[in-house]
Amino acid sequence: MSGVLSEQSARNTETGSKQRKTPAGTGASQSVVPVTSVHRIKADGVRIFYRSAGDAAAPVLLLLHGFPTSSFMFRDLIPRLADQYRVIAPDLPGFGFTEVPEVRKYAYSFDSLANTIEAFTDALDLNRYAIYVFDYGAPTGFRLAMRHPERVTAIISQNGNAYEEGLGDAWGPIRKYWSQPSAENREVIRQNILTLEGTRWQYTHGVASPDSVAPESYTLDAALLERPWNKEIQLDLFLDYASNIKLYPKFQEYFRQSKPPLLAIWGRNDPFFIPAGAGAYRKDLPNAQVQFLDTGHFAIETHGVEIAAAMKAFLGANGVPGRPEKVASR
């Protein structure tokens, strides 16, 4: 099993790549399955937990998760990409296993999340990367892209919104909280969203076969929400999400000016970020590729194979080809 590595050893362990051979079969060669390792590194006064796999010399894919999950959501996607890319997936502050010291007095806002991820990329010397953004990962990643457009080789948006027409009716209670940030409205969000049932619903709504969603996904998320003060962190971020909508015109200006290759791959049954948000990218990026999947918000849970294949084809066609897949002789 992979262990958690110290800050001092994290960078050293990524100078090469770890791989496993698949069990011997009848063919002349075996595919090589990259091993995902986990690390921690200090950046912006935060001890950031992240998952990494792939050849350190390969093109970089930076995967940014959303609410209420962590880099764990990429557990199956990472090895499907790491045969050709160096894949890095951090846990945002307030999520997963990233640790924010109390003395840091961290202000949980999307500006702060972007600041921390920017410091994280600097700590790992990531100067060029494609970004995969989902949910909260979108406003975090787009802030990063606006600051460093020269670093971003491509964008994959999986239900990561940047347009008002992409906001579905499920935002109703949160919009009310924005307009009236009272203790009562804060409690409505706490009781209806920050629960095991609320988390399970986000994973299974719009999925043809809800039992196909691995229960450890939403169960882990719900367990981590129960940590002391974590629900207050999430409620602060819900309130600050309104700042992202104010930045939508700036995000769109970045798209028009920098023209990053973009793939919007979308669970069409997402109640939060509806299909119109995917199609809207073409207003500012006429060459954006848009693909819909018959699933919900967490499309990666049911369509990881399709998403990985679409990403490789898209990146290869847009100047970010991966390294040739390795095979091991018998």
Query: What are the b/e assignments for 200-224, b being 16+ CB within 10 Å?
Result: bbbbbbbbeeeeebeeebbebbbeb
Q: Is 65 a catalytic residue?
A: no
291 exposure class (CB count in 10 Å sphere: 0-12, 13-18, 19+): middle
Identify whether the C-beta of residue 68 lies closer than 8 Å to the C-beta of residue 203.
no
CA dist., res. 255 & res. 283, Å (int): 10
Catalytic residue among 39, 65, 297, 303, which? 297
| Count of beta carbons in the 10 Å neighbourhood of residue 251 | 20
Identify whether the C-beta of residue 30 lies closer than 8 Å to the C-beta of residue 50.
no
Residues marked active site are found at 297
